[in-house]
Structure 1
Amino acid sequence: MLAVVQSGALSGIDGLPVQVEVNTGEVGDPKLVLVGLPDAAVKESQDRVTSALANSGFDIPRTRTTINLAPGHLRKEGPIFDLPIALGILSATSQLRTDIMERFLIAGELRLSGRTCPIRGGLSLAILARNEGKDGILLPRKTAQEAALVADIPVYPVDSLEQAASFLDGRIQIEPARPEQSPFTQRRPTGESVDFSEIKGQQALRRAVEIAVAGGHNLLIIGPPGSGKSMIAKRIPTIMPEPTLEEYLEILRIHSAAGITRNENSGQWFERPFRSPHHTISDVGLLGGGSIPGPGEISLAHNGVLFLDELPEFRRSTLEVLRQPLEDGQVTISRSAGKITLPSSIMLVAAMNPTPDGYTGAEGRESRSTPAQIQRYRSKISGPLLDRIDIHVEAPALSIDELRTEKEGEKSATIRERIVEARGLQLDRFQGTRATANALMSHRQIREYCRLDKSLGDLLQNAMEELSLSARAYDRILKVSRTIADLAKSEKIEGNHLLEAIQYRSLDRNLFY
């Protein structure tokens, strides 16, 4: 007898429909035959499913059974098909009614006992079920808590094979998972987060960070060891606006596809991601890829912050893969298994020392780096990559008086209020367009919203000529100027706004102290 169960597979972060076809009663040895381009984990499902059926009180097929995962050209990976295969066998052997099966999309891993286990990509599968017009989707309970955030599709949490079969057979009812009860929407408890008030001194750096976050600008911090570069970078998420539900679903979808759980047990909350890979990371680890392409650190930081500490220590080839994602807000990966496009709209924050040993002499500690060593160190960062970083800011060494002060700095909540207000102006300005912040303005929008009068135009032209800036740097200065004006609640860009934006091109001026 033939039975068909609707399931899905992941391609990048997208769910693709897969039909699990089960045919029993064939002539031959009593065994399961699995076809349809399965990987090793899918092939192993035969043994898991057989044990799960027996331990759940169901009969195991005594004839040859063929299981086909269609379409055959799509490579299938992971244990995601355990539950639909088991239910397909029950349907094909008349242990379960078949008329209701095609109304649901089903996915889940099974233990030998018949209990379900969480899987990757629950959010993407729920979106697939909604797009396919299904009546609902059956998923393991923890995966269902994540998928419940998708609107207009009932998500039924199942704890075991027996429970799933009883529900489909009409013997029991299961309440759909409710999004308001999902642990994935919990906010971080007050007092658990780090705060900007813990930062000592560095007023100029704090100002640059506020401007960068207010406009979504990329930021490079240059300073000696101990000047607070990493400490400030790790507190940037505390002043960023809370993500909208749509933005958070994009974040959660990428993390789910990568197998990263965002809930209270992992210390991650309803907030923007902060990713800080080590400088030994590979090109694939940063960009994404693999034999079956998946998201890398750039995509895992989508709608949040990608922090690269000790920037020149990264391999140059690794840094160069950042150029296209920073410009386009997405990354395209081509492999033999297929081509995928992943979102990567990030705020890049990078930190570096001014010299290889970290010191220049301005800190009261003489640098032992030779001019040739310093030049090699700085040249690890290409000009095209620097062009894509809007703000370069210097972080001088802290004095003993600054370190000893008991006075707290401005709190993150206060800074965030100003940033949210500035972002609100930008959202109103760009309503109906793809841009959501000043850093994402198109050339046409720059001409429209960053107009300069003749005197300011001449000022910028002189700066361009003196600093030998590129056309891309010209646009970056205008975007930063617009953000500074927004923070000042000014309708037009004033002279002080433009001058402040120009000074944030430290590396163009080759000023490394």
Structure 2
Amino acid sequence: MGLGQSSSIALVGLQGYQVAIESHLTSALPNFTIVGLPDASLNEARDRVRAAIATTGFDFPARKVTINLAPASLPKSGPSFDVAIALAVLDSAGVLPNRVDAATVFLGELGLDGRVHEVLGVLPAVAAARATGFKRAVVPVGNRREAELIGDIEVIGIEHLAQAAALCGAEVPVPQLMSRSGARTTPGSTLPAASGDMREVLGQQTAKFALELAAAGGHNVFMVGPPGTGKTMLASRLPTILPELTSSEALEVASIHSVGGLFDPAGGLSTTPPFESPHHTATGAAIIGGGSGRVKPGAISRAHRGVLFLDEAPEFSARVLQTLRQPLESGAVAISRASGTATFPARFQLVAAANPCPCGNAHGDGRNCVCTALHKRRYMQRLSGPLMDRIDIQIQVLQLVPGAASTRESESSAVIRARVQAARAAAAHRLRDTGWNTNREVPGSWIRGVLGSHNPCLTFVNKAVEKGTLTMRGADRVLRVAWTLADLSGRTTPTVDDVHQALTMRVLSGVSL
């Protein structure tokens, strides 16, 4: 009998867990079994590992091989366990002069020729290994730069199983690796990026101020206006006025993109807030996350700490739009499967845009509009009341008058971002002992407690609730926006004028929702 062991990391969402891989050989009919809740892709490791060991120059044990992935109750998926399984098998067969180092974690997918391929999720996996206490991480050479971003853990990149065996003292030649044309890429699309500058947006001062307000307080925005008024242009430039990500936030965002196969280690950790703009035909799994096997993050998680832009929002499926309600409140999304639940962070700023009607011409005198009143009502009613109640700022983007936009020079994103950073600094100072960072996160009970029950601002908001203009949730959001207005103006507390302005920026006039 022989017993071997190695270590790897299993990811459930962004959370990494240590997995002890045990290999046991017995004198029985040759067989290769993997136990410990492996998924289909992990079960297929039997054939990959067998072929890789043989082509590396070792004899695969002609006995019954049982691989146990402990803890057995933890679901495990993906091919990143291949290298660790192969080393455990070789260790149990007694062909490694040195035992596999218990302080080393192994990640990598094996090809049939023994080549080690890149895998997804190396960044959060290595971060989990460091937190668990591992001193060294052996990863595919293509993932080495990504793993090195973690720091405080030695990273070794390998291209072939023979190199991993050599780390355990085996004297086995490393095959000459033939270069392959084109780089191996992981599944996924190119990560969208924000571009441009606010200076390029002509006119639309009200909309620009609304986005500045949203950036200062982390608020959600809904814009209604005819085609060609600059709604998409404005939304794509919101990240350019947001504060840069901190190092911990940048690592968190990069970890999400690593799991989704969208992270480019060549650029290092980006401090620019992400920008996601899914098409209106996107499914619920594409927006929220999901998939078979390892659950992948959706657009709302890829937009974490950044902006999720829904262009033509009423054209999205009503079911998809309703799934946004819970993440908008909690800042996270839990995706449940039969094998377990994966949780991804999703604290994004929602920017939604819509035309005033399906044809887009219901503006001005509306003479060119071909939509009936029923069509207009159905179009806007796809955005349900509970969803709209979670959007703090709702504005109309009007058609520009020719020549009017050139009468005033537009401010650059850098100038606006400076004011946003000052407002956020004021909010962070006020909330320094609470655990919250932006006004969007502050509960209404805290605001009411600080203002006091007899504050004129609360009296004004309570009257709006009594008239049915606001819900209680909406009242709390108006108070949050009012405090952001005060932060932008350099005041320590909001005034009644701030509350009134916040209310006018929340109620769309002339648009039936």
TM-based fold match above 0.5: yes
What does residue 423 of structure 2 align with? 422
Which whole-Å deviations, capped at 9, do the CAs of 1:203-238 have from their partners, x for residues lacking one? 100000000011000110111111111111111111
With 111-120 and 421-430 compared, the bigger mean Cα shift is at: 111-120
Which whole-Å deviations, capped at 9, do the CAs of 1:405-436 have from their partners, x for residues lacking one? 49752111111111111111112221133311
What does residue 381 of structure 2 align with? 379
Q: d(CA) in 2 for partners of 1:453 and 1:76?
A: 56
What does residue 60 of structure 2 align with? 60
Q: d(CA) in 1 for partners of 2:397 and 2:18?
A: 52
Aligned to 1:306, which of 276, 300, 308?
Answer: 308
Q: d(CA) in 2 for partners of 1:414 and 1:502?
A: 26
Q: d(CA) in 1 for partners of 2:457 and 2:311?
A: 35
Q: Percent identity?
A: 40
Q: Please say if 1:34 is aligned against 2:40.
A: no
The one-letter code matched in structure 2 to 1:503 is T
Aligned to 1:325, which of 321, 324, 327?
Answer: 327
SS at match of 2:167: helix
Q: d(CA) in 2 for partners of 1:313 and 1:228?
A: 18
Q: d(CA) in 2 for partners of 1:472 and 1:432?
A: 24
SS at match of 1:42: helix
The count of residues paired between Structure 1 and Structure 2 equals: 490
Q: 1:378-397 to 2 correspondence within 5 Å?
A: 378-397=380-399
Q: Please say if 1:276 is aligned against 2:277.
A: yes
What does residue 90 of structure 1 align with? 90
Q: 1:33-432 to 2 correspondence within 5 Å?
A: 33-169=33-169, 193-264=195-266, 269-292=270-293, 293-362=295-364, 366-402=368-404, 405=406, 409-432=410-433
Q: d(CA) in 1 for partners of 2:352 and 2:15?
A: 30
Q: d(CA) in 2 for partners of 1:449 and 1:278?
A: 42
How far apart are 1:449 and its partner, in Å?
4.8
Q: Please say if 1:502 is aligned against 2:508.
A: no
Q: d(CA) in 1 for partners of 2:426 and 2:153?
A: 34
Q: d(CA) in 2 for partners of 1:368 and 1:340?
A: 46
TM-score by length of 2: 0.88
TM-score by length of 1: 0.88
Q: d(CA) in 2 for partners of 1:102 and 1:380?
A: 56
Q: d(CA) in 2 for partners of 1:226 and 1:363?
A: 17
With 457-466 and 118-127 compared, the bigger mean Cα shift is at: 457-466
Q: d(CA) in 1 for partners of 2:167 and 2:154?
A: 14
Q: d(CA) in 2 for partners of 1:385 and 1:78?
A: 36
C-alpha distance 306-2 of structure 1, shift in aligned 2 (>3 A): same
SS at match of 1:83: helix
What does residue 187 of structure 2 align with? none
SS at match of 1:400: coil
Q: d(CA) in 1 for partners of 2:484 and 2:363?
A: 34
Q: Please say if 1:12 is aligned against 2:13.
A: yes
Is the 1:291–1:335 contact (alpha carbons within 8 Å) kept by the matching residues of 2? Answer: no
Is the 1:217–1:389 contact (alpha carbons within 8 Å) kept by the matching residues of 2? Answer: yes
How far apart are 1:448 and its partner, in Å?
4.4
C-alpha distance 402-168 of structure 1, shift in aligned 2 (>3 A): farther
Q: Any runs of at least 4 consecutive aligned residues in structure 1 with deviations exceeding 6 A, and if so which?
A: none
How far apart are 1:456 and its partner, in Å?
4.1
Is the 1:450–1:479 contact (alpha carbons within 8 Å) kept by the matching residues of 2? Answer: no
Is the 1:334–1:340 contact (alpha carbons within 8 Å) kept by the matching residues of 2? Answer: yes
Q: d(CA) in 1 for partners of 2:402 and 2:450?
A: 44
Structure 1 segments unaligned to the other structure (5+ residues): 173-191
Q: d(CA) in 2 for partners of 1:299 and 1:211?
A: 23
How far apart are 1:255 and its partner, in Å?
1.9
Is the 2:6–2:102 contact (alpha carbons within 8 Å) kept by the matching residues of 1? Answer: yes
SS at match of 1:205: helix
C-alpha distance 244-438 of structure 1, shift in aligned 2 (>3 A): same
C-alpha distance 235-365 of structure 1, shift in aligned 2 (>3 A): farther
Is the 1:13–1:294 contact (alpha carbons within 8 Å) kept by the matching residues of 2? Answer: no
SS at match of 1:348: strand
Is the 1:4–1:101 contact (alpha carbons within 8 Å) kept by the matching residues of 2? Answer: no
Is the 2:95–2:170 contact (alpha carbons within 8 Å) kept by the matching residues of 1? Answer: no
C-alpha distance 363-159 of structure 1, shift in aligned 2 (>3 A): farther
C-alpha distance 453-147 of structure 1, shift in aligned 2 (>3 A): farther
What does residue 490 of structure 1 align with? 491
C-alpha distance 112-512 of structure 1, shift in aligned 2 (>3 A): same
Structure 2 segments unaligned to the other structure (5+ residues): 173-193
Q: d(CA) in 2 for partners of 1:448 and 1:462?
A: 18
With 445-454 and 115-124 compared, the bigger mean Cα shift is at: 445-454
SS at match of 1:75: coil
SS at match of 2:282: coil
